[in-house]
Structure 1
Amino acid sequence: MLIILAFIIIFHIVSAALLFTSTIDNAWWVGEGFSADVWRVCPNNTNCTEIGEGYEGYATMQAVQATMILSTILCCISFLIFLLQLFRLKQGERFVLTSIIQLMSCLCVMIGASIYTDRRQDIHRGNSWLYHPLSEGSYGYSFILAWVAFSFTFVSGLMYLILRKRK
């Protein structure tokens, strides 16, 4: 049982690290000499512009920002609740709240990455959007980490439900 708990703790910490990295780092959309994320656009390596109200699609980017921040916060809260529940609750009642909060984190990261994917695809359908001048590029590693974090938080949430029944 201790090995399972250690594995779950490590898995949860990795999930949180993936969420932090994907939310903060500037590599959601990359190309030759430029990068962009949910916070700023860098047409070259030295000149970065914060995404503000002047950008087309600003409300959409705010939705992505909010869901990614919320997913990171919920993941950290679920880890703290996990630690509290580990020592406070009797067997059979453990980790239900932790699982619910972790699955909410999973849902938030899925919504944020899905919105970003949909808006990014508008460029290729001919619709205008935030990074239109930088349309020639590809998804960066932060975007991929967001989807990996989605799967990690989903699996983690399910593991907490399964672990609830273990003795």
Structure 2
Amino acid sequence: MLCILLGVLALHLLVFILLIVSTASNEKGHSDLWYSCLSEPKAYSCSQASNEDWIQAVQALMILAVVFCFVSLLAFAYQLFRLFKGGRFYFTSIFQILASVFVMCAAIIYTVMRPSNGKGFGYSYVLAWVAFPLSLISGLIYLILRKKD
């Protein structure tokens, strides 16, 4: 049982780290959630990401995903010590699944609305798409996981 709990905790921490990196990173030569950076031979310049509604929605959804993943981690720690024997981690599962839904929505909005200027999406985009199924799997594991002594 200890191995299962450590594995679930490791998966949850991996998802949390992926979400933080994909939300907060600033990539050179790419436009991300916060800045649009250009790399020229002798200069490197960054400007604010557009003030359009869609980018603000993506920013808000990614921040919500990070917050819900963190709250889910705290709920797991709380329920691990306070939940009665045989109880399920429903509260933790709900927050983790909501975090995965927020990441999915943010990635879909970013995919559809991002202007195609010939640049690639960058690693933040890929990390967000990797974090989505991992957080969904983690939430489903919490849904079926029971506390044993």
Q: Is the 2:31–2:49 Cα contact (8 Å) retained in structure 1?
A: no
| 1:15-40 deviations in Å (ceiling 9; x for gaps) | 0000000001124xxxxx72110101
Q: State the SS of the aligned residue for 1:49.
A: strand
Kindly report which structure 2 residues correspond to 1:2-151, keeping only aligned pairs within 5 A, or say none.
2-27=2-27, 34-44=29-39, 46-53=44-51, 58-120=52-114, 123=116, 135-151=117-133
CA distance in 2, matches of 1:80, 1:41: 34
CA distance in 1, matches of 2:13, 2:75: 13
Q: State the SS of the aligned residue for 1:47.
A: strand
Q: How much has 1:46 moved relative to structure 2?
A: 2.3
Q: State the SS of the aligned residue for 1:34.
A: coil
Alpha-carbon RMSD across the aligned residues, in angstroms, is 1.7
Distance 1:92 1:26, change over 3 A: same
CA distance in 1, matches of 2:107, 2:50: 20
Q: How much has 1:52 moved relative to structure 2?
A: 4.9
Q: How much has 1:166 moved relative to structure 2?
A: 6.2
CA distance in 2, matches of 1:64, 1:164: 34
Give the alignment's TM-score, normalised by structure 2: 0.91
One-letter amino acid of the structure 1 residue matched with residue 108 of structure 2: S
Ranges of 4+ aligned residues in structure 1 off by more than 4 Å: none
Unaligned runs of 5+ in 2: none
Q: Is the 1:39–1:50 Cα contact (8 Å) retained in structure 2?
A: yes
Q: Is the 1:96–1:164 Cα contact (8 Å) retained in structure 2?
A: no
Q: How much has 1:50 moved relative to structure 2?
A: 1.4
Q: Is the 1:39–1:51 Cα contact (8 Å) retained in structure 2?
A: yes
